[in-house]
A and B are shown apart, each in its own frame.
Chain A
Amino acid sequence: MASLLLEHVTKRFGGVEAVAGLSLEFARGRVTGLIGPNGAGKTTVVNLITGMTRATSGRIVLGGEDLTHATPEKCARAGIARTFQNIRLLREASVLDNIVIGCHRHERTSLLANLLGLPAVWHERAAFRARARALLQRFGMTEYVDLPAGALSYGHQRRVEMMRALATAPDYLLLDEPVAGMTEGEAEEIGAIVTEIARDGVGVLLIEHNMRFVMEMCDHVYVVNSGRLIAAGPVAAICADPAVIDAYLGS
């Protein structure tokens, strides 16, 4: 299966190297963790993979396709979806519409058909709405379907953002702190869903500070500090690595 590769990727902001020669590999069907202290460059990695910032040097490859200089919309169409560290929902739109917009990648009707309101457009709309409802069911949020997204609680907003990303039916899903600020119980629910998503063949990249969550979820973990990779491997090995304990877990 097509894996997502970062090869010696560097990103400089002025004099600061946010990401310095990082090489990472993500596989489909697995949950890969990316951890590190604040300012380690984790979110920059997500921005690089999704085309929101351009790498200064190095290569980003998905399958055989070079995405190093791709625009965000091209990355999305290539099958990469993300959530944002600071939740970004369409606050005025309903929960359902927020999820339906995620289906954009799968629109097959032409602009002209849309302008004329041809039947195919309505079939497509019904299919997208059914897909969004199925996601709401899965996340146990069916009763919020018509509420404006901005009126939801924090935990629910995070879920809607995840549903929107899933509505794109991605090959790779990048989650930037999906359980930040959630209770243990809520985190467990999200964890169960993430495991299920990975089992369906999606490659999940998980950025998270909640170490318990990372340990439970991840098959493989990368640890970065100051933009450099300081450790990589299965969870158990990472936790025992003195460099990691020193840089991140603390004493």
Chain B
Amino acid sequence: MRSFVLTYEPLFEIICIYCGLAFSQYLPLRAGVYSLATPGFVSIGAYAGAYAVLRLGLGAPAGAALATLLAGLVGLILALPLARLRGHFQTIATIAFMEIMVSLEFYAEPLTGGALGMNGIPKLVGAWQLLLFVVVLTGFLAVLKRTGIGRAFDAIRQDPTVARSLGIAIGRYHCLALALSGAVGGLSGSLLAYDTYSLMPDQFGFGMLVTALAAVILGGRSSVAGPIVGTIVLLLLPEVFRPFAEHRLLLQGALLILIIIYLPQGIVDTLGRRIGMRFAARRRALSLSDPRGHGVPAP
């Protein structure tokens, strides 16, 4: 048992951190912003967190707070130019942002250690802290979904014209979504730094982006549980397929394609909707069979 825990603890920790990344990616998509800036935010948070601990001598909580604030602020600033763009152009602009951040981290040697990276970061977080992080973040997003902010995000994502016709100021909510995406990404980044001892600029590139984005698409873009399920599936697959040795990547890819074909809204959203429809249909059947029900029969 003990060896099992020791073997899988690092995997568990990485899954928790990637849940944060997936949430950072989920937030703007939910609000209809086509942002792929998450790896950029994560890198800002990771370097800020590491810098705070190694050079400023701060503790992990202060470092994480600094990382959260800084990346959130960058998200807010990034929202200003993005407001002038729509759809795919936002995607391209945010990919550029991600690449710019990677380049900056290569060149800003005094701050980031350049290509050699930042090493010797003490391990400041363990499985329990990371689990707490995921639980608190999930709670926060579950609450957010049910408030006026969540409602506005939903309306903007599904039909911006309707949202505006109802008095929703889209720009304001896009700023909020990017600031939140930045803050969540920054916090996840600082935890990544405190969990993995060293940072390199090129770990915050396309690979990270694809994982975060795939987790959201795979799990579901609407429900809060979606990104978590997506992250778990995505990071467990390589472990599950380990016995297949050289066919591992092939099988993993095939499974992803099958999920996307048969569960197009993501695992959680597709299944959730099917169950929801069934319940609603049953309730309706009950209310129609009720002789006092004054509902209009379905055509």
CB within 8 Å of B: which residues of A? Answer: 50, 52, 71-73, 76-77, 81-82, 84, 88-93, 97, 100-102, 104-105, 107, 109, 111, 114-115, 117, 121, 124-125, 140-144, 146-148, 151, 153, 164, 168
Given A125-B146, A146-B276: A52 touches B152 (CB 8 Å cut-off): no
* Residues A90 and B158 in contact, CB atoms below 8 Å apart: yes
| A124 vs B149: C-alpha distance when bound (angstroms) | 13
Residues of A within 8 A of B280 (CB): 146-147
| A71 vs B171: C-alpha distance when bound (angstroms) | 12
* Residues B167 and A77 in contact, CB atoms below 8 Å apart: yes
Residue in B149, B167, B299 whose beta carbon sits within 8 Å of that of A73 in the complex: B167
CB of A180, distance to nearest CB on chain B (Å):
17
CB within 8 Å of A: which residues of B? Answer: 143-144, 146-149, 151-152, 154-155, 158-159, 161-170, 176, 222, 273, 276-277, 279-280, 283-284, 287-288, 293-296, 298-299
* Residues A114 and B279 in contact, CB atoms below 8 Å apart: no
Given A73-B167, A168-B166: A111 touches B151 (CB 8 Å cut-off): no
* Residues B166 and A76 in contact, CB atoms below 8 Å apart: yes
* Residues B168 and A73 in contact, CB atoms below 8 Å apart: yes
* Residues B164 and A71 in contact, CB atoms below 8 Å apart: yes
* Residues B168 and A142 in contact, CB atoms below 8 Å apart: no
Residues of B within 8 A of A93 (CB): 154, 158
* Residues A143 and B288 in contact, CB atoms below 8 Å apart: yes
| A50 vs B147: C-alpha distance when bound (angstroms) | 26
15 more A-B residue pairs beyond the given contacts A81-B166, A141-B296, A153-B298, with a C-beta to C-beta distance below 8 A: A72-B161, A73-B164, A76-B165, A90-B158, A93-B154, A100-B151, A101-B166, A105-B166, A109-B148, A124-B148, A142-B295, A143-B288, A146-B279, A146-B283, A153-B299
CB of A86, distance to nearest CB on chain B (Å):
11
Given A97-B154, A121-B148: A76 touches B167 (CB 8 Å cut-off): yes
* Residues A90 and B155 in contact, CB atoms below 8 Å apart: yes
Closest to A167 in B: B166
Residues of B within 8 A of A124 (CB): 148
* Residues B279 and A91 in contact, CB atoms below 8 Å apart: no
Given A93-B158, A143-B295, A148-B277: A114 touches B168 (CB 8 Å cut-off): no
Given A100-B151, A111-B149: A52 touches B161 (CB 8 Å cut-off): yes
Residues of B within 8 A of A121 (CB): 147-148
A-B contact pairs, 12 of them (CB 8 A): A72-B164, A73-B169, A76-B166, A81-B165, A93-B158, A97-B154, A140-B296, A142-B287, A143-B284, A143-B288, A143-B293, A148-B276
Residues of A within 8 A of B279 (CB): 146
* Residues B295 and A104 in contact, CB atoms below 8 Å apart: no
Residues of A within 8 A of B293 (CB): 143
6 pairs of A and B residues whose beta carbons are closest in the complex: A76-B167, A72-B164, A117-B143, A114-B147, A90-B158, A105-B167
Residues of B within 8 A of A144 (CB): 284
Closest to A74 in B: B167
Closest to B273 in A: A148
Residues of A within 8 A of B273 (CB): 148
Closest to B158 in A: A90
Closest to B139 in A: A117
* Residues B154 and A76 in contact, CB atoms below 8 Å apart: no
| A5 vs B139: C-alpha distance when bound (angstroms) | 49
Residues of A within 8 A of B164 (CB): 52, 71-73, 76
Residues of A within 8 A of B170 (CB): 73
Residues of B within 8 A of A102 (CB): 166
Q: Which of B148, B151, B155 has the most CB of A within 10 A?
A: B148
Residues of B within 8 A of A50 (CB): 165
Residue in B143, B154, B161, B295 whose beta carbon sits within 8 Å of that of A140 in the complex: B295
CB of B174, distance to nearest CB on chain A (Å):
13
Given A72-B165, A76-B164, A77-B167: A92 touches B158 (CB 8 Å cut-off): yes
Residues of A within 8 A of B298 (CB): 153
* Residues A104 and B151 in contact, CB atoms below 8 Å apart: yes
CB of B226, distance to nearest CB on chain A (Å):
13
Residue in A76, A90, A115, A153 whose beta carbon sits within 8 Å of that of B159 in the complex: A90
Residues of B within 8 A of A143 (CB): 283-284, 287-288, 293, 295
Residues of B within 8 A of A114 (CB): 144, 147-149
CB of B248, distance to nearest CB on chain A (Å):
35
| A151 vs B152: C-alpha distance when bound (angstroms) | 22
| A14 vs B94: C-alpha distance when bound (angstroms) | 34
